[in-house]
Structure 1
Amino acid sequence: MRDISHRKNHRFYTEIDRLCFLSKNLYNYANYLVRKSFIFEKTNLSYYDLQKTLSTQGDYQAMPAKVSQQILMILDRNTEKLFSSE
C-alpha cells in the first residue's frame, strides 16, 4: 500500500483528511471527558460510558459507527494503561 497522506491531488485525499479531522476531534473530546471525570469525580469513564454519552455527538455520527467505536476503544485502552500505572 502506498502512502497517500501527503498527496493533495490524490482522489481520496479530501475524504481521508475529513475522516482524520473527525477522528481527532472525537478522540480529543472523549479524552477531555475522561480527564474531567477523573479529576473532578475521581472516576474512570469506561468505553461503554463514553460510547453511550457520545453516540449522539456530531463527530461520532459523521463517521461509520465501527470507526467511532474503534476510536473510543483505543482511548479506553490508552487510559487503562495510564490509570493502571499509578
Structure 2
Amino acid sequence: MEYIAPHELIDETPWLFNREFDKGSPPPAYEGAPGNDSLHVWIWQGNPEGMFNNENPNVGQNERCGENFDPDAFKEQFAHLYED
C-alpha cells in the first residue's frame, strides 16, 4: 500500500504509523507529475527488508504494478489531479 501526499497539497512532510513519509519526486514512468512525499507499507506480502521498506526482494516489478501496467494510461486517468 502506498500513501501519497502531493507537494502542492502539504506544507510539511506528513507522518503516519509513527513514520515520516519519504521525500521525493515522481519516478521516471510518471514524468511530468508533481513531486510528492510517500510512505510504502507492505501489508499483503511479507517483506524481509521490513514492513516500511520501499522495495521487497520477494516481489517482482510486474507483481508490484500488474503485468498490464501502462504508465501513459495511468497518467491519463489521473491527469485531472495535476491540472492547474
Do the two structures share a fold, i.e. TM-score over 0.5? no
User: Which structure dedicates a bigger proportion of its chain to strand?
Assistant: 2
Higher RCO, 1 vs 2 (CA within 8 Å, ≥6 residues apart): 1
Rg: which structure is higher? Answer: 1
Query: Normalization by structure 2: what TM-score?
Result: 0.28
Query: Normalization by structure 1: what TM-score?
Result: 0.28
